[in-house]
Amino acid sequence: MAPASVGEMKRPEPIGEDEGTATAAESIPAGAAADPDVALMLRLQAGDQAAFQDLFQKFSPRVVQYARRLVGSEARAEEVTQDVFVQVFRFRHRYRPESRFSTWLFTIATNLCLNEIRRPERRLRVDLWKPRGDDDDRREGPQLADPAAITPEQGASSRELARQLEAAVGELPPKQRAALLLSRVDGLAYRDVAEALGCTEGAVKALLFRATQSLKKTLREYL
Amino acid sequence: MRCQRAQKWMTAAVDGELSARRRRALDGHLAACAACRRELAVTERMLTALAGLPMEAAVSARLEQATLRRVRLAAADEAERAPASRWARWLPLPAFALATAAVLVLAIGIVRRTGQVPSAPAVRAPRVDARGVAQAPSSLLRPPRRFAEAPPAEPPAKLAEAPDLFVDMPIIRNLDKMTHFEAIQTTTLDDEPATPDGQEPPSNG
């Protein structure tokens, strides 16, 4: 990733008087203080804009990928990613160190992606996850990491499974897709997925069960 | 345990999110059900494949620069608004309380300077003429401005040339009945003969 112009983002640079900083800093749980992401967020709350750049560089690749899979369009995913990080900055004082930064970040990302999916004009856009033609193989696509694959045949098979899996995930209803991506791809605990989706852990389990059943049905021949 | 329930718990079991009690119940079922063991294996393969999908995508420099530009704008916007919000923080009372206080201070100031309550009308002692008869203030003797001039005996020339503007229409005289719109259909205008009882008014179509 090429570095962005950072001339105007000197460190530390007070943003203004931060009314939320004192309350957030006072209520830092013992475990959260050691979390480097929480530390970055607290620095951002204290007015250090360079902390924002660190957060962006660390988390934007995950947010872009998550948004791509959720909204299905690379261009829209980039726009949503921008909006996500601008909201992180604007609402930085609302973040409380009691929850992990990634959970808070993916809550914002999920809300914006689901809003984007609901927009009617989205239906006119090209679906990124539709099966591609042969020329699309040259593109940078998802590669399934499969250390167990020894032969070229097995490697090709796992790549094919990955591609089919991406396509099948793209066909899931948005909430099932979000729950599956957050829990399996981004590795969030069910509790954090529930927080990001604004539902209960029981609802997350139900979403994941339905998503898994759909995928198994679609991909039976590859599994 | 039935197979349907076992399958419902498989995803959570693979994710390590199943409670110990349910995990034991699932294990007990799997030990006895070959079909569910196969299903669990399929579930595991699929979830493993999902976990192997790339978690990150390349972020273009353009995206990073555009985001940082928007954040700088947001920061500048906040900085502009900051002095106003700092000033507002020194106002512990709600706006209406401040407004009330300001009005009170103003009223007290006026009373102190003039010795009169501003809201009360100024009452002057009536003047007494040489005969000892009190005279009304001249303002009361003057006719109100609206009636200062007597209405003209003749209409203006322009209106006099257009007598059709003054057509005498019964509906205009009966405008007060329009306020009872729902009852108007059963009400006769003053100038119209009443319809005989039990007869519908003639339709216009």
* Contact yes or no for A86 and B67 at CB 8 A: yes
Give how far B34 is from chain A: nearest CA, Å.
17
* Contact yes or no for A215 and B46 at CB 8 A: yes
Confidence of residue B202 (pLDDT cuts 50, 70, 90): very low
pLDDT at A7 over 90: no
What local confidence, expressed as pLDDT, does residue A157 receive? 75
pLDDT tens for each residue of A104-134: 999 999 999 999 998 866 554 444 444 444 4
What local confidence, expressed as pLDDT, does residue B102 receive? 87
Average model confidence (pLDDT) across chain A: 79
Confidence of residue B201 (pLDDT cuts 50, 70, 90): very low
The overall pTM is greater than 0.95: no
Q: What is the mean pLDDT of residues B31-44?
A: 94
Chain A residue with minimal CA distance to B8?
A: A209
Average model confidence (pLDDT) across chain B: 75
The segment with the largest mean pLDDT, out of A145-149, B90-94, B172-176, is B172-176
| Residue B128, helix vs strand vs coil | strand
What local confidence, expressed as pLDDT, does residue A19 receive? 43
| Residue B134, helix vs strand vs coil | strand
Those of residues 122-151 in B touching chain A at CB distance below 8 A are none
Q: Which structural domains are found in chain A, ordered by start?
A: 15-128 (1.10.1740.10), 148-223 (1.10.10.10)
| A79 in contact with B, Cβ within 8 Å | no
Pull the structure tokens for residue A123.
Answer: 């239906």
Cα angle B163-B166-B172, degrees, rounded to a multiple of 5: 165
- Do residues A48 and A13 make contact, with C-beta atoms less than 8 angstroms apart? yes
ipTM exceeds 0.90 = no
Q: Which of A2, A15, A216 sits opposite B78 (nearest CB)?
A: A15
Residue B139 Cα distances to A1, B136, B179, angstroms = 87, 8, 39
- Do residues B11 and A208 make contact, with C-beta atoms less than 8 angstroms apart? yes
* Contact yes or no for B72 and A158 at CB 8 A: no
Cα angle A113-A116-A122, degrees, rounded to a multiple of 5: 135
Sequence-distant (6+) residues with CB within 8 A of A185 are: A65, A66, A69, B50, B51, B53, B55
Consecutive H or E run containing A61? helix A49-71
Give how far A85 is from chain B: nearest CA, Å.
7
DSSP A27-41: T--HHHHT-HHHHHH
The segment with the largest mean pLDDT, out of A121-125, B1-5, B12-16, is B12-16
DSSP state of A198: T
Q: What are phi and psi of B53, to 5 degrees?
A: -65, 145
| A169 in contact with B, Cβ within 8 Å | yes
- Count of other CB atoms within 10 angstroms of residue A48: 20
* Contact yes or no for A89 and B75 at CB 8 A: yes
- Do residues B126 and B115 make contact, with C-beta atoms less than 8 angstroms apart? no
What local confidence, expressed as pLDDT, does residue A20 receive? 44
Q: How far is residue B41's CA from residue B47's CA, in Å, rounded to a whole number?
A: 10
Angle separating helix axes A101-118 and A74-90, nearest 10 degrees: 130
Which has the minimum average pLDDT: A41-50, A119-128, A185-194, A213-222? A119-128
Q: How far is residue B76's CA from residue A41's CA, in Å, rounded to a whole number?
A: 19
List B134's β-bridge partners, or say none.
B128
Half-sphere exposure of A147 (CA within 13 A, CB side): 0
Share above pLDDT 90 across residues of chain A, in percent, rounded to a whole number: 57
Q: How far is residue B205's CA from residue B195's CA, in Å, rounded to a whole number?
A: 18
Q: How far is residue A55's CA from residue A46's CA, in Å, rounded to a whole number?
A: 14
pLDDT at A21 over 50: no
Confidence of residue B111 (pLDDT cuts 50, 70, 90): confident
Pull the structure tokens for residue B98.
Answer: 């401040």
* Contact yes or no for A89 and B68 at CB 8 A: no
What local confidence, expressed as pLDDT, does residue B122 receive? 54
What local confidence, expressed as pLDDT, does residue B118 receive? 55
Enumerate the residues of chain A whose CB falls inside 8 A of the CB of residue B53: 142, 144, 162, 165-166, 185
Pull the structure tokens for residue B38.
Answer: 């196969």
Confidence of residue B187 (pLDDT cuts 50, 70, 90): low
| Residue A91, helix vs strand vs coil | coil
| A190 in contact with B, Cβ within 8 Å | yes
Q: Is B65 exposed, middle or buried (0-12, 13-18, 19+ CB in 10 A)?
A: middle
Q: How far is residue A42's CA from residue A24's CA, in Å, rounded to a whole number?
A: 8
Share above pLDDT 70 across residues of chain A, in percent, rounded to a whole number: 69
Q: How far is residue B115's CA from residue B54's CA, in Å, rounded to a whole number?
A: 84
Q: How far is residue B133's CA from residue A108's CA, in Å, rounded to a whole number?
A: 86
Q: Which of B42, B68, B86 sits opposite A53 (nearest CB)?
A: B68
Chain A residue with minimal CA distance to B44?
A: A223
Which has the minimum average pLDDT: A64-68, A160-164, B5-9, B92-96? B92-96
Which has the minimum average pLDDT: A9-23, A43-57, B89-103? A9-23
- Do residues B71 and A89 make contact, with C-beta atoms less than 8 angstroms apart? yes
Give how far B53 is from chain A: nearest CA, Å.
6
Which amino acid, residue A43?
R
